Amino acid sequence: MGGLALMARELGHKVTGSDQNVYPPMSVQLEEQGIALFKGYDPANLEPRPDLVVIGNALSRGNPEVEAVLNLGLAYTSGPRWLYETLLKDRWVLAVAGTHGKTTTSAMLAWILECAGSRPGFLIGGIPLNFGISARLGRSPYFVIEADEYDTAFFDKRSKFLHYRPRTAILNNLEYDHADIFPDLMAIQRQFHQLVRMVPGNGLIIAPAVDENLAETLRMGCWTRVETIALAEETASSYWQARLKQPDGSEFEVCKGGGKRGTVSWELSGLHNVRNGLAAIAAACHAGIEPEKAASALCRFKNVKRRLEVRARVNGITLYDDFAHHPTAIATTLEGLRAKVGNARIVAVLEPRSNSMRLGVHADALAGSLKAADHAIIYQPQQLGWDVRQSAAGTPGLSVMESVDEIVVKLAAESHPGDHLVFMSNGSFGGIHCKVEEALRQGFQHP
């Protein structure tokens, strides 16, 4: 929604917005662009009356501002519909879908197009560090979009990505998630198959060679050419392959159809990022960019804010902010960091904040997803609907705490130079990053 606000502003509209929780980095980005933010929902926010209200999928009937929109008879639409009708219908849309890696892969793809001289439009659910903004109109036919399977709005329960009608579609991976709206994996697969149905025959679908859930989805019917991606260690039959030159994924060769087509050497780590990068290179190739040029562009890719982002280094202790909130993403992120830092001590601090986490869908997998860390702390807020302690019982090196301030005190007292502290949440986590940094700077860390 923040990205849509930026593009509406770029189109010359006066834009205001309401949200329950407004926090960085998006709040800062919007304020810098002169977009007025209202905290909380109030009919008074609709004065003077807007020409159009774009309603996000987090809002439902009973919300006071939604009720006012309906009662006043104001024109309203969903974000995805506004986006398609205003921008996407005349563009070459490159969409990145999947349970994990959508934001990072979208940012990689947009950067490759940028480096190739095309000034693409994009809408990304994070802030790519190479651009400093999450959305822009662009000046070329190409538009890169992070394509989310979550529902569109309270008045349109289709997945958002069904509005985008991509010519190039990356299907990164597929697992069960969003338990608040999908009863099972098959329900998500049906939405993905609807997306597959909408990609034109002269388009392209990029999918992993070893993801059975996506393979099953494609077997439901596919009318578009599919190019597969994989690590060379996973399968020899994939059309696109990445051959690791460093075990942590910081350097790899790009191969297409069995031939070497470039090398990526970058600051990122983790096999998940290697796969993300390979998918972005394949999509860029469909848009006419040679793999060698795409690989060269990724060597200058700086990642996305809140994707294992280094927030501070204090007395030899490194603090990271990470958005991971699904067991698979948590595990791959920590495994990537482990491969990069070797035997250095890793402490993972997790807030189970997503809707699926709060419902306890991933409770049994959560402890295991943290095993790459030497120590892990899971925050249990009062409103969580399940007992983290019960799920974590018997797991060595795992603590459960009910207070952010207590976590801060513990980390300040027990952290040593050389430690890596990773804070994982899809929210602000009570400002824990700044609190820990402040405590460490005040000299509370262990001698």
User: Mind listing the domains of the chain with CATH numbers?
Assistant: 2-74 (3.40.50.720), 81-298 (3.40.1190.10), 309-441 (3.90.190.20)
What H or E segment, with its residue span, contains residue 408?
helix 404-414
- Between 143 and 20, where is the model more confident? 143
> Percent of the chain beyond pLDDT 70?
99
**What pLDDT sits at residue 118?**
94
Rounded mean pLDDT, 345-372: 85
The string of DSSP codes covering 215-256 is HHHHTT---S-EEEEEETTT-S--SEEEEESSTTSSEEEEEE
pLDDT of residue 443: 75
CB 128 within 8 A of CB 111: yes
Q: Tell me the pTM.
A: 0.85
pLDDT category at 445 given cuts 50, 70, 90 is: very low
Asked whether the predicted pLDDT for residue 446 surpasses 50, the reply is no
208 pairs with which residues across the strands?
229
Instruction: Flag whether pLDDT at 289 surpasses 70.
Output: yes
The model's pLDDT over 5-16, given as tens digits with 9 standing for 90+, comes to 999 999 999 999
Q: Which residue has the higher pLDDT, 369 or 263?
A: 263
CA angle 206, 207, 211 (to 5 degrees): 180
pLDDT score recorded for residue 169: 98
User: Is residue 443 left, alpha or beta, with left meaning phi > 0 and alpha meaning psi from -120 to 50?
Assistant: left
d(CA 309, CA 250): 16
Please give the Cα distance from 313 to 316 (Å, whole number): 6
Range with the largest mean pLDDT of 25-34, 105-114, 343-352, 384-393: 105-114
Return the structure tokens found at 27: 């709040």
Residue 441 above 80 pLDDT? yes
State the pLDDT at residue 67. Answer: 98
Question: What's the mean pLDDT when you consider all of the chain?
Answer: 92
Q: Which of 401, 325, 433, 309 is nearest to 370 (CA)?
A: 325
- Give per-residue pLDDT as tens, 190-227: 999 999 999 999 999 999 999 999 999 999 999 999 99
Please determine, for residue 444, whether its predicted confidence score (pLDDT) is greater than 60: no
Task: pLDDT band for 447, please (50, 70, 90 cuts).
Answer: very low
Q: Which residue has the tokens 């910081």?
A: 250
pLDDT digits (tens, 9 = 90+) for 67-80: 999 999 999 999 99
